[in-house]
């Protein structure tokens, strides 16, 4: 059975400790009020941490064609700046996750944020595409701390349906970032060049580092930390990967994320170069799609969780993503003749919105199986997502800048593979039959 997690009282003590609330000797109503205030503050801080990656990626998207011209590099090379950042975020999580299980959540997070700020500032002065790729890699390596540790903190504090609801709430906050990031990026380009975008990201990183330093306190007590070295961390990860169901949720979620990132990577060229939209129009469409993702995520957390099994919601989300990807392939390949921007944008909206069912539920189902190593489990989830996304990113431009077919092909392959992993490895019908698989402990 998945780990039973902590009691409500334990979570309240954790949350009160995090913001220096009154000790648990307060009267019941005061203690509950303090816990609610702590929970809201934790949500806002973790939302900021999870919003940093989409800020780092999406503010930069409207500038991709401008970077291509400024650095005199082909589009495929400039797209590698996205791949480098994504790869860095993937590899960094493998290091930071086990570190947070050994030394706690706070110190590795602060170190990563400081390095992120420095790397982002350097990106603003990169004189060539090659150097920009290198510093984007470093930016991703450091930014991984916020991604992996925020998920581990959620696992420290919540379990079961409450964890699913929290991830959906977190999606509401972090989902604002992709809504406003391209809009901010497009507006920044009206007053300066693409380097100004990295200057803005540097300021955001500094502010978030200060917020983490002041308000996010330790959630992993010393008795619960791992004391082993690299060998122990590797054994823990091997045990997690040996759990077929954990691996199934991990890979299914990663493939769904790859379908999403194929859109993120290709959409600036598809919308602006193929369909002739302006950077501001692209930003508007990207924001609308992100609103769809947020809305469905809230439907998942506020309405579906507790009424519909997480596996049913996840399966429905993966099915919709697959159908939307197939529709996009048919439209972009000319099966329906010449189609304009509106039908393609509609297909992308449906695909993005359905991610609101897939992303929080895969994370929840995977993390429910492992309380003993939340940092390492979070690292594997994030690394898998970002590595598969990094592979998908350059494939969308393999046929040049004037066709959207490669984007749709990548999305179809990834979404159908995600469905296959969910069915073959997770076997959701076992849970409905009351026969949950046993997790493997590292």
Mean pLDDT of 287-308: 86
pTM of the model: 0.70
Predicted confidence (pLDDT) per residue in 52-99, tens digit: 877 887 788 788 888 888 888 887 788 888 888 878 887 888 888 888
Distance of CA 44 to the CA centre of its chain: 16
| DSSP annotation of 305 | B
Predicted confidence (pLDDT) per residue in 136-184, tens digit: 999 989 988 888 888 888 888 777 778 878 777 776 676 667 667 777 8
Q: In 3D, which of 88, 66, 201 has the Cα closest to residue 134?
A: 88
Mean pLDDT of 337-355: 88
Q: In 3D, which of 31, 30, 35 has the Cα closest to residue 14?
A: 35
CA–CA dist 21, 34 (Å, integer): 6
Confidence of residue 350 (pLDDT cuts 50, 70, 90): very high
pLDDT, position 39:
66
Question: Is residue 335 packed enough to be buried (19+ CB in 10 Å), middle (13-18) or exposed (0-12)?
Answer: exposed
Mean pLDDT of the chain: 80
pLDDT, position 330:
93
- Are 183 and 24 spatial neighbours (Cβ–Cβ below 8 Å)? no
- Are 256 and 316 spatial neighbours (Cβ–Cβ below 8 Å)? no
Mean pLDDT of 24-51: 58
- Are 124 and 424 spatial neighbours (Cβ–Cβ below 8 Å)? no
């Amino acid at each position: 059975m998945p780990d039973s997690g902590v009691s409500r009282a334990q979570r309240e003590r954790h949350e009160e400790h995090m913001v220096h609330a009154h000790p648990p000797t307060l009267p019941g109503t005061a203690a509950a009020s303090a816990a609610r205030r702590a929970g809201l503050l934790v949500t806002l801080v973790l939302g900021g941490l999870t919003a940093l990656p989409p800020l780092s990626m999406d503010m930069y998207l409207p500038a991709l064609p401008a970077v291509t011209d400024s650095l005199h590099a082909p589009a495929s090379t400039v797209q590698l700046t996205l791949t480098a950042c994504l790869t860095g975020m993937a590899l960094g999580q493998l290091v930071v996750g086990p570190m947070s299980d050994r030394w706690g959540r706070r110190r590795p997070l602060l170190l990563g944020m400081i390095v992120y700020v420095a790397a982002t500032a350097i990106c603003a002065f990169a004189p060539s595409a090659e150097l920009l790729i290198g510093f984007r890699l470093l930016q991703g390596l450091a930014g991984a701390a916020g991604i992996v540790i925020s998920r581990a903190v959620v696992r420290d504090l919540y379990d079961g349906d409450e964890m699913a609801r929290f991830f959906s709430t977190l999606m509401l906050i972090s989902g604002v970032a992709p809504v406003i990031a391209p809009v901010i990026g497009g507006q920044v380009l009206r007053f300066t060049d693409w380097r100004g975008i990295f200057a803005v990201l540097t300021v955001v990183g500094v502010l978030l580092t200060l917020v983490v330093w002041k308000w996010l306190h330790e959630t992993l007590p010393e008795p619960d930390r791992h004391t082993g070295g690299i060998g122990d961390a590797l054994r823990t990860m091997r045990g997690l990967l040996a759990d077929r169901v954990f691996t199934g949720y991990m890979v299914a979620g990663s493939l769904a994320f790859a379908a999403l990132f194929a859109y993120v990577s290709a959409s600036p060229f598809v919308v602006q170069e193929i369909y002739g939209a302006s950077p501001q129009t692209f930003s508007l469409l990207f924001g609308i799609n992100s609103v769809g993702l947020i809305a469905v995520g809230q439907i998942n957390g506020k309405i579906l969780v507790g009424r519909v099994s997480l596996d049913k919601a996840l399966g429905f989300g993966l099915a919709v993503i697959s159908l939307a990807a197939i529709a996009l392939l048919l439209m972009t390949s000319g099966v329906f003749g010449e189609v304009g921007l509106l039908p393609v944008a509609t297909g992308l909206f449906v695909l993005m919105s359905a991610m609101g069912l897939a992303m929080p539920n895969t994370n929840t189902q995977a993390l429910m199986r492992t309380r003993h190593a939340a940092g390492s489990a979070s690292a594997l989830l994030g690394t898998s997502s970002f590595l598969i996304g990094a592979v998908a990113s350059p494939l969308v431009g393999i046929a040049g800048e004037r066709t959207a077919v490669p984007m749709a092909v990548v999305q179809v392959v990834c979404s159908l593979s995600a469905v296959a992993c969910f069915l073959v490895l997770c076997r959701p019908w076992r849970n409905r039959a009351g026969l949950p698989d046993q997790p493997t402990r590292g």
